[in-house]
A and B are shown apart, each in its own frame.
Chain A
Amino acid sequence: MVEGEAKPGLSSSRFAKEGANSPASPSTAETERMVREHGDALWRFVMSRTRSVELSEDIVQETFLAAIQGGATFSGLSSERTWLLAIAAHKVADQFRNLRKRAGRERAAAHVTPKAIEEGSEFTAGGKWVKPPVEWTNMAENEGETREMLVAMRACLDDLPPSMAEVIWLRDLLNIPSEEVCKSLGITPTNLWSRTHRARALLRRCVERVLGFEKDGGD
């Protein structure tokens, strides 16, 4: 199941400090500064997820527009760049949600391993492991194997339901504080906690399958 249907695009005002008394929109010079300072970081973030120049251009533009039209203020809990990246993350997730909707149950990205993401419970009704985690061989110690894991993780992240991938980008990649993520996604801390846990568990299981550690050989 895909949690969370497409929501309206992230309003930058959700990241804004309520009642902030800044100007309604930044000056031309300010706009140019934002693009020059953060354009490359946003571009890399979006390009590495969409792998499309056209799509990335649209998303980066929408991100800056949302930031500018939202009053260009942010909570101050994170840096300006993190705030922009968080808006971009939501735009990318929205894009993937739309792609999935259009593709029905087909996978949005053709390169991902089918069935790598498996959403069934890992536990029995009594809460015991059905398929306990398998030992991964020295992943953190061997650079080659770490790289292999990164590649597997990247493919798995791309294949996670967008609402799941989004919380991993926001929390673990961009380190956005939980309160800010809750505000931006319009969910409670409990919902965020449970969604993040599900996302990490799915990601772990997927990586285990892709790396071939799963005992029964998987699919």
Chain B
Amino acid sequence: MIQFVREIIRILGMSCRDHAAVTSRELDEPLPRGLRAAHRLHVLYCRDCARFRKQLRTLRDAVARIDEVGAQAGSMPSEIRERLIRRLETESEKK
């Protein structure tokens, strides 16, 4: 328990730069209990970090839709597909 409280105190001393890194880490993995609690608390009172957190989440979700814009590549042209298969077969035979 004492260790947990110490950890909370250490985390509460973290800067916005540290919390920005935690925001990204949170997108990838569950945070340890103390860090998660302190981070949530920080973004409750720090408007800038709360905004950063929201925007990073928006961007992460938007990345999945990135191919909706830009080049509409479509399917691989059939002549390229056939050429590719022939080359790969040749390479496989070389092995």
Contact = CB atoms under 8 A, between A and B. Distances in A.
Interface of A: 24-28, 31-32, 35-36, 39-40, 42-45, 47-48, 51, 53, 56-57, 60-61, 64-65, 68-69, 122-123, 126-129, 132-136, 139-140, 146-147, 149-151, 153-154, 157, 168, 171-173, 178, 193-194, 196-197, 200-201, 203-204, 207-208
B69 to A, nearest CB: 5
A197 B26 CA distance: 10
Interface residues of B, number: 48
B16 A127 contact: yes
B65 A127 contact: no
B70 interface: yes
A120 to B, nearest CB: 13
Interface centre among B51, B56, B63, B81 (most CB of A within 10 A): B63
A136 to B, nearest CB: 6
A197 B53 CA distance: 12
A39 B83 CA distance: 12
B92 A31 contact: yes
Given A40-B75, A127-B15, A201 B24 contact: yes
Contacts of B92: 25-28, 31, 68
29 contacts: A31-B92, A32-B89, A35-B84, A35-B88, A39-B84, A48-B67, A51-B71, A53-B77, A56-B73, A61-B87, A68-B91, A122-B20, A127-B17, A128-B15, A132-B51, A133-B48, A149-B62, A150-B62, A150-B68, A172-B64, A173-B66, A178-B28, A196-B24, A197-B20, A197-B21, A200-B27, A200-B60, A203-B59, A204-B52
A197 B73 contact: no
B25 interface: yes
A136 B24 contact: no
A196 B89 CA distance: 38
Given A140-B58, A203-B59, A204-B55, 12 more contacts: A42-B76, A44-B73, A47-B71, A53-B80, A56-B73, A57-B83, A61-B88, A68-B91, A150-B62, A153-B59, A157-B63, A201-B56
B7 interface: no
A175 B21 CA distance: 19
B92 to A, nearest CB: 5
A219 B45 CA distance: 31
B66 A153 contact: yes
